[in-house]
Each structure stands twice: as C-alpha cells, then as structure tokens.
Amino acid sequence: MEYNVVLVRYSEIAVKGGYTRSRMERLLLRALQESLAAAGVDAFVERLQGRVIVRLASPSSAATAVRASARVFGVKSVSPAVEVAYRGLEELVEKAAEFFGDRVRGRVFRVRARRSGVEGFTSKDVERLLGRLLLERGARGVDLENPEYTAYVEVRGGRAYLFDTIHPGPGGLPVGSEEPSLALYSGGFDSGVAAWMIMRRGSPVHLAFYDFGVPEALEVAVEGAKTLAGEWAWGYRPRLYVVNFRGAALVVNGLVKPSYRTLVLRRLMMLHAQDLASREGYEALVTGESVGQVASQTVRNLRLISSGLDLPVLRPLAGMDKDEIVEKSREIGLYDIASRQVEVCGVDQPPNPRASPQGFRSEFEKARDVFIPPPRVFDLKGESLHSILKTLGLRG
Ligand SMILES: Nc1ncnc2c1ncn2[C@@H]1O[C@H](COP(=O)(O)OP(=O)(O)OP(=O)(O)O)[C@@H](O)[C@H]1O
C-alpha cells in the first residue's frame, strides 16, 4: 500500500466561526495548490471537515508534497497517508493491519485512533481490534507510553487515513487573512525573521530595502527576498522595493550631529516607508527591531524613530533574544543568506542610547526635506534573481 494522499491539519482556522472560517479555508487551499504546483506535484486539493486532503496523482511525489505543504502558513502539521474506503469496523481494521503489518513487525507499538462522522464504533474499538490484529501479525508488544512505533488511524465518514509520521508546519493563518504590510528588509537576520513572522499571521508582506550604495549588501538583500518569496509566499505576489538612500545618508552625515545620525536616518526610512505603504495600499510597517539589542533600539530611541507615524509598526521580534532570532532564521531557511549580509547603517557613529527628544527633533528638522528618488519595484515571483540583479546593475 503506497501513500496516495497527504493529510493536512490546520491550526487556528479551526476555532474561527462561519464566514471567517470558510474564507480562511479557501485561502489555505489556494496557497497549498500554489506551493504544490511550484514543487511540481500533480495533486488535487480537497477540503474535508477540519482537514485538507491532498490527493496525489503519483505515490512517488509524497515526500515532495509533504515538504511543499509544510511550507504553507496556516498548516499545523502534515502526514503522508493511505486513504482507504471501508464498510464496517472489520474491514477497516483489516485494511489497516495490511498497511501497518510489516511496519510493526518485531516492534513495540501503540495504535492511536480518531474518528468523526462515524456511527457504530468508537476510536477505542479501533485501537483494541487493530492492536490485537497487529500482535497476531508479529508485533513484539504494546506500550502506550513509550512505543517504538505509533500506528495512526483517522476515520472520517466512510474513509480512513492510515499514517505513521506527523511533520510540523509553520502554523499561523493563511496568507490573505490579514491586510498587506510592508517590511523594512535589510537582508540581515532580524528583518527576514520579522517579515516571515508577520506573513505567518496572514498578512501578505512586501519588502523594502534601503540601499546605501554597498553592492554586496544589495545583492544579499535581493537573494534573501527571493528566498523568502520562493519558499514561503504562497497565495500572493510579493514585491521588492529598492529605495536609493545614498542621498539621504549624505545629507544626514553632512548636516546632523554624529550621535543623532542613525536615529535621524531611521526615522527618514520609516517616514518614507509609510508613504510608500500608503500609496501601495499596505496597512502596516514591519521591522526587525528587538528591544535593547543595539543603541538605536532602546525603548527611548524606538519612541523617537517612530513617533507620530500613522501606520502601525509591527515589531514581532521586540521581545526576542538574538540567539532565538538566529535559530528561527535557521529553521525558515534564511540563515545562510543572512549570515553573509554586511552591516551597513549609512553612518559611522552609534547613537546615544538615551537621546534627548528635543535634541532629536531639532536634528531631524535639518534633514527632513531630503529628496528620495522613486524606488525600483520588482515582482519577486515573476522575475529571476539574475534579471533583478541585472536591472540593478549588479550583473553584466
Ligand atoms: N538597509 C535597510 N533596508 C531596509 N530596512 C532596514 C535597513 N536597515 C535597517 N532596516 C530596518 O531597521 C531594523 C533595525 O535595523 P538595525 O540595523 O538596527 O538592526 P538589525 O538587528 O541589524 O536588523 P537586521 O538583522 O534586520 O539587519 C531592521 O530590522 C530593518 O527592519
């Protein structure tokens, strides 16, 4: 018996009611279809009560389908499974024993059964009967606490799903459940993880990179943006905005007192991102700031950088430690790229961690009217890495 489906469980959607739930389920299906198609899996995606079934055209695509499904936001976990039809408990456990028989031989096991939309027998009945059958067919023993092998049976109406592995998905909400937002993305660890975390909460996140004129930094940021889009952005077309901030850095370095330069430049960045977001219909900004991580991220300085903005600034890493952030970037596949990023902040002196609000205001006034050219805009799904780099003058 070969895997013919992937069973997809979703997390928070299950607790939503009525219209919201069916909208989110539709978004989840669309994202799953897109992710599977991009991975080259020929499959039909079907909604069951509380589950999604990915029906595979070929069993050989099961592993790829599992990987592709586990990269979709809203998915709690996935299992490659065998779907069988049955009439009555006896036929069900017989088919299950056929699938699990070889796998439990010589091993200590347990059966975990669940059931919904079924009359006439309980989950316990399935566990007991199948357990007995598997012992008869060569399993070494039963241990409910510490088995070597778990045989899972999920019964839904007239069909049952048999599986023995559960692979975690990212959780969260399907992309499109929330309004879109714009992440200030540097290509470093923090802003990549931050963008991912807000995508995970259902917002289609677009990215803005502020270019201080260091080609290596721009190249890494484009690569990181392509990776985020290619691995995680299912169900929408993320954009990358590359903003030429060289002029802004020059003006700030020329006019502003050294200890205020980083803060003034950051605030210019935030204001610019807010205008850009408003024009494009994005309803929040996202940054990778974490309280106290560096001098520009003290509570005081975060206040100064973002005071008076109309759009909410989402800072999903605010309460995280650096090592947790780096670990997360590893999990989501951004570590290698982010670790190549060079630190470029546009100015050469760190800010005072407790900058004075009055001092900041008067220094900011000196630079507030700096001209910033319109951004270059890229469709991260539609354009290849090479063509984006070429347009930006980074490839011949
Ligand atoms: N060149 C840039 N382009 C876009 N956003 C930026 C840029 N530089 C900084 N940011 C934004 O400001 C935040 C704070 O930047 P900072 O350099 O102080 O912190 P960081 O911890 O090094 O961030 P990261 O790891 O994302 O580079 C970043 O997380 C990002 O959201």
* Confidence check: pLDDT of 39 > 80: yes
Print burial letters for 48-61: b (CB count within 10 Å at least 16), e (below 16).
eeebbbbebeeeeb
Q: Which atom of ligand 1 is nearest to the CA of 297?
A: 18
Q: How far apart are CA 187 and CA 195, in angstroms?
A: 11
Residue 176 lies in a domain: no
CA of 217 to the centre of ligand 1 (A): 12
Mean pLDDT of 168-191: 97
Q: Which atom of ligand 1 is nearest to the CA of 286?
A: 31
Question: Which residues make beta-bridge pairs with 155?
Answer: 115, 160
Cβ–Cβ under 8 Å, residues 83 and 91: no
If asked whether residues 207 and 332 sit together in one domain, one would say yes
CA of 343 to the centre of ligand 1 (A): 9
Q: Answer whether 190 contacts ligand 1 (Cβ < 6 A).
A: yes
Q: Whose CA is nearest to atom 8 of ligand 1?
A: 186
If asked whether residues 308 and 275 sit together in one domain, one would say yes
| Ligand 1 pocket: which of 185, 191, 305 to mutate (most atoms within 8 A of CB) | 191
Mean pLDDT of 368-385: 97
CATH number at residue 103: 3.30.2130.30
Q: Which of 141, 168, 195 is the last residue of a domain?
A: 168
Q: How far apart are CA 327 and CA 283, in angstroms?
A: 29
Q: How far apart are CA 181 and CA 174, in angstroms?
A: 15
Is residue 48 part of an annotated ligand binding site?
no
Q: Tell me which residue of 182, 174, 311 sits closest to 240, measured CA to CA.
A: 182
Backbone angles phi, psi at 165, to 5 degrees: -135, 150
* Confidence check: pLDDT of 345 > 80: no
Q: How far apart are CA 243 and CA 373, in angstroms?
A: 7
If asked whether residues 338 and 379 sit together in one domain, one would say yes
CA of 293 to the centre of ligand 1 (A): 11
Q: Which atom of ligand 1 is nearest to the CA of 191?
A: 26
* Confidence check: pLDDT of 374 > 90: yes
Q: How far is CA 94 from the centre of its chain?
A: 40
Rounded mean pLDDT of the chain?
Answer: 95
CA of 390 to the centre of ligand 1 (A): 24
CA of 210 to the centre of ligand 1 (A): 9
CATH number at residue 218: 3.40.50.620
CA of 218 to the centre of ligand 1 (A): 13
Q: Answer whether 223 contacts ligand 1 (Cβ < 6 A).
A: no
The two beta strands, 239-244 and 205-211, are: parallel
**pLDDT tens per residue, range 184-235:** 999 999 999 999 999 999 999 999 999 999 999 999 999 999 999 999 999 9
**pLDDT tens per residue, range 126-141:** 999 999 999 999 999 9
Confidence (pLDDT) at 303: 96
If asked whether residues 258 and 283 sit together in one domain, one would say yes
Reported in sequence order, the residue ranges of 134-227 that DSSP labels E, i.e. its strands, are 141-142, 149-156, 159-163, 167-168, 181-184, 205-211
CA distances for 25 relative to 39, 62, 77, 209, angstroms:
21, 22, 15, 32
Q: How far apart are CA 183 and CA 173, in angstroms?
A: 18
Q: Tell me which residue of 115, 117, 116 sits closest to 130, measured CA to CA.
A: 115
Mean pLDDT of 230-246: 97
Cβ–Cβ under 8 Å, residues 139 and 106: yes
Q: Whose CA is nearest to atom 9 of ligand 1?
A: 186
If asked whether residues 224 and 320 sit together in one domain, one would say yes
Structural domain boundaries enclosing 10? 5-168
Token pair recorded at residue 158: 């007239």
CA of 289 to the centre of ligand 1 (A): 7
Is residue 161 part of an annotated ligand binding site?
no
* Confidence check: pLDDT of 14 > 80: no
Residue 110 lies in a domain: yes
Q: Answer whether 289 contacts ligand 1 (Cβ < 6 A).
A: yes
Count of structural domains within the chain: 2
Q: Which of 136, 168, 200 is the last residue of a domain?
A: 168
If asked whether residues 89 and 218 sit together in one domain, one would say no
Q: How far apart are CA 311 and CA 1, in angstroms?
A: 54
Token pair recorded at residue 199: 């995508």
**pLDDT tens per residue, range 246-260:** 999 999 999 999 999
Q: How far apart are CA 108 and CA 87, in angstroms?
A: 29
Q: Which atom of ligand 1 is nearest to the CA of 217?
A: 1
Q: Answer whether 191 contacts ligand 1 (Cβ < 6 A).
A: yes
| Ligand 1 pocket: which of 181, 184, 207 to mutate (most atoms within 8 A of CB) | 184
If asked whether residues 278 and 138 sit together in one domain, one would say no
Q: How far apart are CA 69 and CA 71, in angstroms?
A: 5
CA distances for 99 relative to 94, 146, 203, angstroms:
9, 22, 41
